[in-house]
């Protein structure tokens, strides 16, 4: 039996240059050094280090399966070392997402975000990974629904007989920590009833219904629920597979032709438009944003990201394209519109979502000064 290949995308905010906006070069260097060493030792087959704003992203291909202790420890130690570097340079928010002191077998629930997928490689296996900054897991509900359930987005759901059987969605209730699987198109309305509540429900995995082929996996952690207080949004990542009976790469990207609103942005407390950008614009500036997303495409080839003859991974920076200029313009237009409203809802998140932010400390101080209203 051919070995299965695992794609692990593990990310963490370990510190940023000039506020919370970008991962600086010295932190990339730590990650590159550690993952290169792990590849030389044969723990991983190859890797790519990139950033989504202030999040350091480790994309690793290997054959150890999901939730593997050695892979998670490699990621944890790498983030730890990068956080130490950030501390040494007095970068901002050094070690921000490392919520626990010691590694306990798995980075899930310790701060870093994880999307992993173990696959049987197809004859040719195109994959697109997405990483967003200044937002949270539920922000991927809308594009994932459009990619895998909406025939107005994904023509293959109508035209390709390998897709007309639909897809199954695993949805996690991040508040009660339980999950449910719903099948589309039959249960599309029930799915929407859940995933429209983006602050609570998040799509975690998707399979093709006909043969249970795994085709999407995303991170669903809620840092605020782990830490019990505001510690930054969860800046999600996801892995999607494309083509040949799955959405085409172009269908995976189509939901981003327009911007849409997500929770996060400044202080994790505002609605903001998501802006698709290439890696060179993967930095959050205006009002700590607007929230941004990058998409990288590659081919999985014999357990690796397919490489050139020098062993350098071949990676397509998919949003680095004028095709997404309109979405970027819309995002800025809507960003400015929302910012004109300042701290008034709906620019600011609703009170339920603000519960885990520092505004509670401000409100607590006013508590005693409230007097009953006389009838």
Which residues form the catalytic set?
Answer: 13, 230, 233
Binding of residue 268 to ligand F6R (CB under 6 A): yes
Closest distance to ligand F6R from the beta carbon of 355 (Å)? 16
User: What are the residues facing 310 on neighbouring strands?
Assistant: none
**Locate tokens 């963490």: which residue?**
12
Partner whose binding site includes residue 288, from Mg ion, ligand F6R, none (CB under 5 to 8 Å by kind): ligand F6R
Burial of 303 per CB tally in 10 Å (0-12, 13-18, 19+): middle
d(CA 85, CA 87): 5
Closest distance to Mg ion from the beta carbon of 83 (Å)? 12
Binding of residue 13 to Mg ion (CB under 5 A): yes
Binding of residue 165 to Mg ion (CB under 5 A): no
Number of residues lying near ligand F6R (CB under 6 A) = 10
Binding of residue 222 to ligand F6R (CB under 6 A): no
Binding of residue 111 to ligand F6R (CB under 6 A): no
Partner whose binding site includes residue 250, from ligand F6R, Mg ion, none (CB under 5 to 8 Å by kind): none
Tell me phi and psi for residue 30, to 5 degrees. Answer: -60, -45
Residue with Cβ nearer ligand F6R (17 or 157): 17
Binding of residue 133 to Mg ion (CB under 5 A): yes
Residue with Cβ nearer Mg ion (93 or 313): 93
Give CA separation, 179 vs 41, 170, 184, 211, 351, in Å.
Answer: 37, 7, 16, 21, 25
Q: Which stretch binds Mg ion (CB under 5 A): 54-62, 102-110, 210-218, 241-249?
A: 54-62
Contact 248, 304 (CB under 8 A): no
Partner whose binding site includes residue 267, from Mg ion, ligand F6R, none (CB under 5 to 8 Å by kind): ligand F6R
Residue with Cβ nearer ligand F6R (62 or 134): 134
Partner whose binding site includes residue 55, from Mg ion, ligand F6R, none (CB under 5 to 8 Å by kind): Mg ion
Partner whose binding site includes residue 251, from ligand F6R, Mg ion, none (CB under 5 to 8 Å by kind): none
Residue with Cβ nearer Mg ion (13 or 320): 13
Give CA separation, 116 vs 26, 60, 160, 276, in Å.
Answer: 26, 10, 27, 22
Partner whose binding site includes residue 234, from Mg ion, ligand F6R, none (CB under 5 to 8 Å by kind): none
Binding of residue 266 to ligand F6R (CB under 6 A): yes
d(CA 138, CA 145): 11
Q: Which helix (H) or strand (E) holds 9?
A: strand 5-12
Kindly give the pairing relationship between strand 167-173 and strand 261-264.
unpaired
Binding of residue 20 to Mg ion (CB under 5 A): yes
Among 10, 55, 219, 275, the residue binding Mg ion under the rule CB under 5 A is 55
Number of residues lying near Mg ion (CB under 5 A) = 8
- Render 93-131 in DSSP notation, one character per residue: TTTTT--SSS--S--TTSS-EEEEEEEPPPSSEEEEEEE
User: What are the residues facing 126 on neighbouring strands?
Assistant: 299
Among 134, 200, 241, 348, the residue binding ligand F6R under the rule CB under 6 A is 134
Binding to ligand F6R in span 67-96, by CB under 6 A: 93
**Locate tokens 């397919």: which residue?**
306
User: How much helix, strand and coil, in percent to the nearest 5, is found in the chain?
Assistant: 30, 30, 40
Binding of residue 348 to ligand F6R (CB under 6 A): no
Closest distance to ligand F6R from the beta carbon of 357 (Å)? 9
Minimal CA–CA distance to 155: which of 263, 289, 251, 57?
251
> Which residues form the interface with ligand F6R (CB under 6 A)?
19-20, 93, 134, 232-233, 266-268, 288
């Amino acid at each position: 039996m051919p070995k299965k290949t695992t794609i692990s995308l593990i990310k963490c905010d370990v510190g940023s240059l000039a506020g919370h906006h970008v991962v600086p070069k010295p932190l990339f260097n730590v990650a590159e050094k550690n993952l290169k060493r792990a590849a030389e030792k044969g723990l991983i087959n190859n890797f790519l280090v990139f950033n989504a704003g202030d999040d350091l992203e480790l994309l690793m291909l290997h054959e150890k399966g999901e939730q593997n202790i050695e892979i998670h420890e490699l990621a944890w130690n790498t983030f730890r070392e990068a956080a130490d570097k950030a501390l040494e340079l007095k970068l901002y928010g050094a070690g921000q997402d490392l919520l626990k002191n010691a590694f306990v077998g798995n980075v899930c629930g310790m701060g870093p975000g994880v999307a992993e997928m173990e696959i049987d490689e197809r004859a040719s296996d195109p994959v697109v990974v997405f990483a967003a900054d200044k937002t949270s897991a539920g922000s991927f509900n809308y594009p994932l629904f459009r990619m895998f359930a909406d025939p107005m987005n994904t023509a293959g759901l109508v035209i390709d007989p390998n897709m007309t059987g639909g897809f199954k969605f695993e949805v996690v209730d991040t508040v009660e920590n339980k999950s449910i699987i719903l099948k589309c198109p039959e249960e599309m309305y029930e799915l929407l009833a859940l995933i429209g509540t983006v602050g609570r429900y998040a799509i975690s995995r998707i399979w093709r219904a006909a043969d249970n082929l795994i085709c999407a996996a995303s991170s669903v952690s809620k840092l605020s629920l782990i830490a019990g207080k505001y510690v930054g949004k969860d800046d999600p990542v996801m892995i999607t597979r494309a083509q040949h009976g799955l959405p085409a790469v172009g269908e995976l990207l189509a939901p981003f032709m327009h911007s849409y609103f997500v929770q996060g942005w400044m202080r994790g407390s505002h609605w903001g438009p998501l802006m698709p950008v290439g890696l060179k614009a993967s930095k959050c500036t205006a009002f700590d944003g607007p929230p941004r997303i990058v998409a990288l495409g590659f081919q999985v080839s014999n357990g690796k990201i397919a490489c050139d003859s020098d062993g350098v991974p071949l990676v397509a920076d998919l949003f680095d394209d004028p095709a997404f200029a309109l979405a970027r313009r819309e995002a800025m237009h809507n960003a400015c519109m929302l910012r004109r409203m300042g701290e008034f809802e709906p620019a600011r998140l609703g009170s339920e979502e603000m519960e885990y932010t520092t505004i509670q400390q401000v409100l607590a101080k006013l508590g005693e000064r409230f007097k009953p209203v006389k009838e």
